[in-house]
Amino acid sequence: MALPVAVIGAGPYGLSTAAHLRAHGMSTRVFGSPMVSWREHMPVGMLLKSTPVASSIDAPQPGHTLLDFCRSTGERRYESDWDAIPVDTFARYGLWFQERLVPDLEQVRVVSVDRRAQGFELKLDSGEQFAARAVVVATGLSGLATLPPELAAAVPEGPSASGPVSHSSHHRDLSRFAGKDVVVVGAGQSGLETAVLLADAGAASVRVVARRRGAVRFGAAPDGQSPRKPDTPFGRAWSLYAFSYYADGFRHLPAPTRKYLVQRVLGPLGAWWLRDRFIGRVQVSEGKRIVRARVDEGRPVLTLAGEGGLTEGELAADHVVAATGYRMDLGALDFLGHGLRTRLVAAAGGPRLGPGYRSSVPGLFFTGLPAAASYGPVMRFVCGTEYASPRLARAVGALA
């Protein structure tokens, strides 16, 4: 009997890939905690920035969109660009998708993947060891949360929700900050939304600190976009059209250009619906860089410098939340064995991928965030499953 294909990850990308592989008749084993990033690492009350049309997990057969889920379960329907989807609704949608299309998901961790004569050898944290003919890495945000080094240095024991400094991914329940002074570092959607949710939770004061002047910005409402530009899941723009529908073209750009575009396109910008909840409730320090941080009697103290580099003073709080995002780091994929790592060619901050999401190691594929360095910014979002999953499944199917 043919060896199975192993899919590591049960977020939107792993689940969508698995559904497509199965539609091609391939035997598949899928590992991970279903929708864990959405269930455990995003705050209660968060709303998705992506619109309903951009928030479906791609499936090979009809009947599995977000709207199908709402219809089938009787949940409120999210269908217009004016509807913001609650994170809990989206997590339930992902679980519903998993129960229908990947019901035999194995909720265990893959602890190692190594090459063997034919395919790969995988070990699970259950102790099981087995062989697979191909491996798809869809581990998404896991282990990639990043903090500015100046801030990380203040907490040698590491950031945590109960300590003086945390990463935004550490918070599910922000009510612990009622009555507290909180600083949020970073002005992306996550930073701006976390700040608003902290204010909602009764924080005494909330201040966003951002490196660039004018960093706190909000996007245009659906009716504020030019109808002369092509429509995409991210809004109307020619560049977004190319990124969304011609992601293979991205692979041919020079590596420094790809790295720049992955960081900048669809980068820091608050959702249009956040503006009114933000203004007047959250203080802002823009054009300020953290040059040092320390913890003084349990309170974090940041030394901030202006854009010219001049030290401008200190900012103390009860807690600092670093909403400083996720950085692709092959080193964080610690389950990849030494033999694989040394054969894996990296470029632009991720594995270099060819057509069909193939890496330089035959039979090893990457999708989702680890594929963004090759396939562009659309891979950072759920709607990228529509481009990635059918192509990846065809490429796995074509393996000798």
Ligand X SMILES: Cc1cc2nc3c(=O)[nH]c(=O)nc-3n(C[C@H](O)[C@H](O)[C@H](O)COP(=O)(O)OP(=O)(O)OC[C@H]3O[C@@H](n4cnc5c(N)ncnc54)[C@H](O)[C@@H]3O)c2cc1C
166 part of the interface to ligand X, by CB under 6 A = no
**Choices 159-167, 214-222, 239-247, 375-383 (CB under 6 A): range interacting with ligand X:** 375-383
Tell me which of 5, 6, 14, 261 binds ligand X, using CB under 6 A.
Answer: 14
32 part of the interface to ligand X, by CB under 6 A = yes
Residue 155 C-alpha from the chain's centroid: 24
Query: CA-to-CA distance for 359 and 374, rounded, in angstroms?
Result: 10
Q: How many secondary structure helices (H) and strands (E) does the chain include?
A: 13, 17
Distances in whole angstroms, Cα of residue 400 to Cα of each of 2, 21, 367, 397: 11, 15, 21, 8
Q: What is the DSSP letter of 125?
A: T
For residue 121, what are the β-bridge partners?
Answer: 114, 131
CB-CB contact of 156 with 165 (8 Å):
no
Residue 74 phi, psi (nearest 5): 80, 10
174 part of the interface to ligand X, by CB under 6 A = no
Query: Within 13 A of 92's CA, how many CA atoms are on the CB side?
Result: 14
Contact pattern for ligand X over residues 135 through 154, marking x by CB under 6 A: ---xxxxx------------
| Between 361 and 371, CB nearer to ligand X | 371
| Between 213 and 327, CB nearer to ligand X | 327
268 part of the interface to ligand X, by CB under 6 A = no
89 part of the interface to ligand X, by CB under 6 A = no
Kindly provide the residue ranges of all beta strands, DSSP E only, lying in 225-333, ordered along the sequence: 283-285, 289-296, 299-305, 311-316, 319-322
36 part of the interface to ligand X, by CB under 6 A = yes
232 part of the interface to ligand X, by CB under 6 A = no
Residue 117 C-alpha from the chain's centroid: 34
**Choices 5-13, 75-83, 300-308, 356-364 (CB under 6 A): range interacting with ligand X:** 5-13
39 part of the interface to ligand X, by CB under 6 A = no
> How are beta strands 5-8 and 134-137 bridged, if at all?
parallel
13 part of the interface to ligand X, by CB under 6 A = yes
Query: Which residue type does 72 have?
Result: S
Q: Work out the angle at residue 52's Cα, subtended by the Cα atoms of residues 50 and 53, and round it to the nearest 5 degrees.
A: 95
197 part of the interface to ligand X, by CB under 6 A = no
18 part of the interface to ligand X, by CB under 6 A = no
Please state the closest distance from residue 196 (CB atom) to ligand X, in A. 13
208 part of the interface to ligand X, by CB under 6 A = no
Please state the closest distance from residue 197 (CB atom) to ligand X, in A. 11
167 part of the interface to ligand X, by CB under 6 A = no
Kindly provide the residue ranges of all beta strands, DSSP E only, lying in 32-168, ordered along the sequence: 110-115, 120-124, 129-132, 134-137, 165-167
Query: CA-to-CA distance for 284 and 186, rounded, in angstroms?
Result: 10
Tell me which of 101, 110, 134, 210 binds ligand X, using CB under 6 A.
Answer: 110
378 part of the interface to ligand X, by CB under 6 A = no
37 part of the interface to ligand X, by CB under 6 A = yes
| Between 201 and 315, CB nearer to ligand X | 201
66 part of the interface to ligand X, by CB under 6 A = no
Residues near ligand X (CB under 6 A): 8-14, 31-33, 36-37, 42, 48-50, 109-110, 138-142, 190, 335, 368-369, 380-383
